[in-house]
Each structure stands twice: as C-alpha cells, then as structure tokens.
Structure 1
Amino acid sequence: MGACSGPKWATKGDWNHPFSIAEAAVDGDSLRVTVQYGGGFRDHTFRLVADGAATKSLPRQLRLRIEHEGQGDPGRALITRDEAFDLTPHRDPTQSRIVLLLGGWDAPLEYVYPQ
C-alpha cells in the first residue's frame, strides 16, 4: 500500500488531503484504484493529474498523481473506496503503450491501447 501524504491541517478547497492507495491496476482505458482515507462526514473527491509530459524513452513513461479533496472532513473513520480514472487523455498518438508511474504506488503500470 502506498501513502500519499498531505498535511494533517488540510482544509476545504485543498487537494492535498492524505490518503493511501491500497490497489492500483489498468483496466482497458481506466486506471482503477482502491483508496483509503480518514473521514466519514463529508463527500470526498479524487482526480488524476499528470506530473509533466511523458519521457522520450521507449516505451514512454508518464508520471501521474492522484489528488484528494476532503472538504475539510474532520471524521476519523477509515474509509475504503474504489475510484476509476479515464486514461485516454494520456495516450501517446505515436505509440501503442505507455508506462504509468503513479505517485504513492511502487509498481509501474502498463497502459496498452490501439494506435
């Protein structure tokens, strides 16, 4: 399990609320993750963000991170939930695959798609 740290003082409107990635896998055109975080009182939102452009190496590698906005939730319950993110915006039109390096997850993930 990978931890994605954020400050314990993160407030509503911050995308740095702490969470952990318990599972991560590419499924077709989706990145499916199981996340865990503290909360229980408010809705939480997650988004997938690219950390810069893909490398020029072959296969190309792209650093991604998941950001978490917890609405200032003061809850202490451990919440586990599944999230899915669309990977099609991260395709390289000159290649049929890209290696995804997800922050908070140790193993590289291979995304294969039709060219």
Structure 2
Amino acid sequence: MNLGFGFHVFRRFVTVLCAALFFALAMSCQRQHTDQSTEAIELKTNEIKVANDPFDLIDASISGDSLMLSVRYGGGCSEHVFALDAGPMLKSLPPKQLISLSHNANGDNCRALIQKTIGFDLSSFQGSPRGITIIVLDGTELVYEYH
C-alpha cells in the first residue's frame, strides 16, 4: 500500500511537534523547581527590613564631606527619620559606593507637604588614595572628592 509523499511529511511533522511539546513540558518543570528553591532561600534570610515610607528626593549634591539631600514628604505631626543605608563599595577606578536613603515617618498620617534639606557625613566612604569616590544614590552618580 503506497500512502504517498504527503503522508510521510505529515508523519514527520507530527513527530517533530510531539518532540517539541515534550521538550517544552520538561523545561517548564525545571523552571518551577528553580523558582521554588529560590523562594526557599529567600525565606531563610535574616535581613532586617528598614521602614521606607514614601518621600520624593528633590536634589542631591556633595559639599565638602557632606551629602546634602533635599527631600519632600507628607506629614507634620511626628518626627520623621531619614537614614543613609550603605551597600558594598564596588572595586573600580575610582571606587563606587552604593547607598540608598530610607524614610521612617513614625506613623505620621498628617497631610502637610514638608520639604527640607538633610545632610550626611561621607568621610567613612573615602575608599581611594587618589581622593575620589563615586557615590551612587539610587542610580545617580555623584563625585565625592577628598584629600
């Protein structure tokens, strides 16, 4: 019985399609397994979460050994605390210091719009004998020069 050329092409197509579906199914199972192990690792971390209430960073500049930040936030009934959180210093020329700003409103639900300038000492980030460290604040690079 001669089934013709078309039947053989169809049969080959079905075989390739089945192989592709099997491969896709096998890969999706591996991805789910990887995601689950990542979640398990994240659950085991002992990181302390810093309060980070909303605020706007209006301006950032460096003056001498001080990082000057202009911030705006809602509040007015409680003292607000801003903290500079330092990440790792990247080994580059000049070195780069990763930092971020966190804000704790201490439960202040008032609605006044407050804008103020806060300063932070940068002298602990003097990581180069050449007198320059790049401060990276949430993706923005600022040049910190010191002697």
Quote the residue 1:16 is aligned against. 52
1:65-110 CA-to-partner distances (Å, cap 9, x unmatched) read: 111111100011111011000001111153411001102xx53100
Say yes or no: does 1:113 pair with 2:146.
yes
In the TM superposition, what is the alpha-carbon distance from 1:56 to its structure 2 partner? 1.0
Q: Which residue of 1 aligns with 2:131?
A: 96
Closer/same/farther in 2, CA of residues 57 and 93 from structure 1, 3 Å limit: closer
Give unpaired runs (5+ residues) of structure 1. Answer: 1-13
Equivalence map 1:1-115=2 (5 Å): 15-51=51-87, 53-103=88-138, 107-114=140-147
More strand by share: 1
Aligned pairs, number: 98
Separation in structure 1 between the aligned mates of residue 51 and residue 122 of structure 2, nearest angstrom: 20
Q: In structure 2, what residue type is equivalent to 1:107?
A: T
Of the two structures, which has the highest relative contact order with CA contacts closer than 8 Å and spacing of 6 or more? 1
More helix by share: 2
Give the TM-score, by structure 1 length.
0.79
- How far 1:33 sits from its partner (Å)? 0.6
**How high is the TM-score relative to the length of structure 2?**
0.63
What residue identity is the alignment partner of 2:142? L
Matches of 1:31 and 1:15, distance apart in 2 = 21
CA RMSD of aligned residues (A): 1.3
Aligned to 1:3: none
Which structure 1 residue ranges, 4+ long, deviate > 4 Å from structure 2?
none
Partner-residue secondary structure (3-state), 2:77:
coil
Query: Which consecutive residues of structure 2, in runs of 5 or more, have no partner in the other structure?
Result: 1-49
